[in-house]
Structure 1
Amino acid sequence: MKKVLITGKNSYIGNALEKWLAKEPENYQVESIDMKDGSWKERDFSSYDVVFHVAGIAHVSTDPKMEELYYKVNRDLTIETAEKAKAEGVKQFIFMSSIIVYGDSSSSKRVIDRKTIPTPSNFYGNSKLQAEEGIKNLESDEFKIVILRPPMIYGKGS
């Protein structure tokens, strides 16, 4: 049985994953934690096989006053969580990044492939890209990193 910890309690994606994995209770045990206060730092991650990090600020504002918060949450929190997971023996860290690391494509159609170089056009995209770069160097044979870059997620409230 795989033990999965979802960071970002009550997040749309986290809740959807938890519901989906609950279809196979013999294979997955899932827990979610809130990352909004510092209490997660006291949590022992050592019993988990996977940390699925979805905690973050979505692309909701281009207000320059929000820039520092985006970096604090999307970059710094991601790196700190991955470091904790690795230090405590978690085998895999899955990070929910965003396709926005490739820039805003609303004005033109383009194909993104393995060779496409990330060129974020705003601080949301840059905060996600910097988080990716910050966790990549943590990867080892014992600690696998997975970075997901989904396009717009459609669901409740979208």
Structure 2
Amino acid sequence: MNKRKILITGKGSYIGTSFIKWLQQWPEQYEVEEISVRGDEWKEYDFSVYDVVLHVAGIAHVSADPKMEQEYYNVNRDLAIEVAKKANIESVGQLIFMSSIIVYGDSGCEVITRNTIPKPANFYGNSKLQAEKEIGILENENFKIAIIRPPMIYGKGSKGNYLRLAKLARILPVFPNFQNKRSMLYIDNLCEFLRLMIENKESGLFFPQNREYINTSNMVQSIAKANGRRIILVGILNPVIGILRKRIKLINKVFGDFVYEQTISNYKCNYRIKEFKESINETEVERKVI
């Protein structure tokens, strides 16, 4: 059996690094390399020896500063298009582009279905959506394109919102018991999904998520439990949170609803190999080791 040769553009990225580690379970099936796409040196790199390019390089949603807007478009849109064009010209068989649920806007929107029209709320989401559209044009019978729009990703080594919630779970004795729903995706489930995309030579638009929706309050409680702590959930602040999440972005980010309709995330092969409780335990054990 010939090994599938995979090139990850975005050296040192969380997803790329996790995926490399994941594929080490099948050393006889996959050969993976990663390169930096900063500067122009990558343009001289030979893509033609690879079966797949996984493009994960990009700027995450870390700043709303208008001064950063052009940089978002330069990296999340223009660079992604350049990588896709090079992969196409050099006869790579498949490109996988990591987009984001953020193309649909912020928390609080309706349940997202396959027919929901993207409506970015900021230049991060818009830069991703514009990249999707331009990259999609390049697809042909010899060049398959899979666009992935994952929700919030968490797991071993993750940062961002999960890290903030984990810090709260370690220090707070109580936390609001607010019933919201969020689609999320454990990193191992994502890595297995990406492997299946490659294995089955998929093309199209995909919406992977965990099997169950996540409730922020239950997540914080589960993180606390994994760290040997007990945190009490109280509902006394619920009316205030209900009002503030409509007015304050940070509150909405924590307690807002933001979900994919479950059936659009189904796939012919099982990629959701870790359930929520197991994913939290594994994440927290790993964080203690780190």
Q: Shorter-chain-normalised TM-score: which range?
A: over 0.9
Equivalent residue number for residue 116 of structure 1:
116
Equivalent residue number for residue 91 of structure 1:
93
Equivalent residue number for residue 78 of structure 1:
80
Tell me, in whole angstroms, the C-alpha distance in 2 between the residues paired with 1:116 and 1:109. 10
Equivalent residue number for residue 152 of structure 2:
152
Q: Find 1:49's aligned residue among 34, 48, 51.
A: 51
**Structure 2, unaligned runs of 5 or more:** 161-290
Equivalent residue number for residue 35 of structure 2:
33
For residues 20-76 of structure 1, give each alpha carbon's deviation from its aligned partner in whole angstroms, at most 9, with x where no partner exists.
111101110000000112110000000000000000000100000000000000000
Tell me, in whole angstroms, the C-alpha distance in 2 between the residues paired with 1:69 and 1:83. 20
Structure with more relative contact order (C-alpha pairs < 8 Å, separation 6 or more): 1
Tell me, in whole angstroms, the C-alpha distance in 1 between the residues paired with 2:113 and 2:27. 35
**Structure 1, unaligned runs of 5 or more:** none
User: Higher helix proportion, which one?
Assistant: 2
TM-score when normalising by structure 1: 0.96
> How do 1:51-70 and structure 2 match up within 5 A?
51-70=53-72
Tell me, in whole angstroms, the C-alpha distance in 1 between the residues paired with 2:114 and 2:70. 30
For residues 84-118 of structure 1, give each alpha carbon's deviation from its aligned partner in whole angstroms, at most 9, with x where no partner exists.
0000000000000010000112xx25311110100
Identity %: 65
- Structure 1 outlier segments of 4+, above 6 Å: none
Tell me, in whole angstroms, the C-alpha distance in 2 between the residues paired with 1:4 and 1:34. 14
Q: In terms of Rg, which structure is larger?
A: 2
Tell me, in whole angstroms, the C-alpha distance in 2 between the residues paired with 1:139 and 1:152. 27
